Amino acid sequence: MSYIKTKYYDTKIQIYTMKKMYPQFKSKFKSKFDIEFVGDLIVKEELPKYTVYINYRGNKSPIVKILSPTLVENAKHIYPDSKTLCLYHPENYKWRKENLIANEIMGWTAGWIYFYEVWLQTGIWYGPEAPHNLTKKQNE
């Protein structure tokens, strides 16, 4: 029996999966490849609650921002112009529209928050990182 891969991909699965795994996130379906998610994320009880904005954009890298609390000036792994999180190096990982925000971006965002909080306390970023130019615009 062979597996036939269909070319059809329903982006509404992004909303369904987020509702299932992160029910505290609200979604706004703007168009086929434009979905916004906003919700609170608590990484550890000892850490503050973070309000996160995620914009799913099909094959373009998702946009992820922290709405609150306000991040410190010159925080590590932030695109300075757009204030979006740098969760992965675009040369090391290629985002595809079939990837699920709930499975990948949410875990990376939680990890970023944890390492950010540790960095605030210690001045050391213990999370994974790759050298690259953060002044470039995020994948447009």
Q: How far apart are CA 105 and CA 64, in angstroms?
A: 8
Q: How confident is the model at residue 2 (pLDDT cuts 50, 70, 90)?
A: very low
CA dihedral of residues 77, 80, 83, 86 (deg, nearest 10): -30
Q: Check residue 133 and give its pLDDT.
A: 57
Q: Check residue 8 and give its pLDDT.
A: 56
How confident is the model over 41-100, as pLDDT tens digits? 999 999 999 999 999 999 999 999 999 999 999 899 998 889 999 998 877 889 999 999
Q: Check residue 129 and give its pLDDT.
A: 81
How confident is the model over 17-30, as pLDDT tens digits? 999 999 999 999 99
Return the closest-CA partner of residue 13 out of 5, 24, 21.
21
Angle value at C-alpha 51, between 48 and 38, nearest 5 degrees: 155
Q: Check residue 7 and give its pLDDT.
A: 53
Could you give the maximum distance between any two Cα atoms of the chain, in Å?
56
Q: Check residue 27 and give its pLDDT.
A: 96
Buried b (16+ CB within 10 A) or exposed e, 49-76: ebebebbbbbeebbbbbbeeeebeeebb
The pLDDT of 95-124, averaged and rounded, is 95
Q: Is 54 helix (H, G, I), strand (E, B) or coil?
A: strand
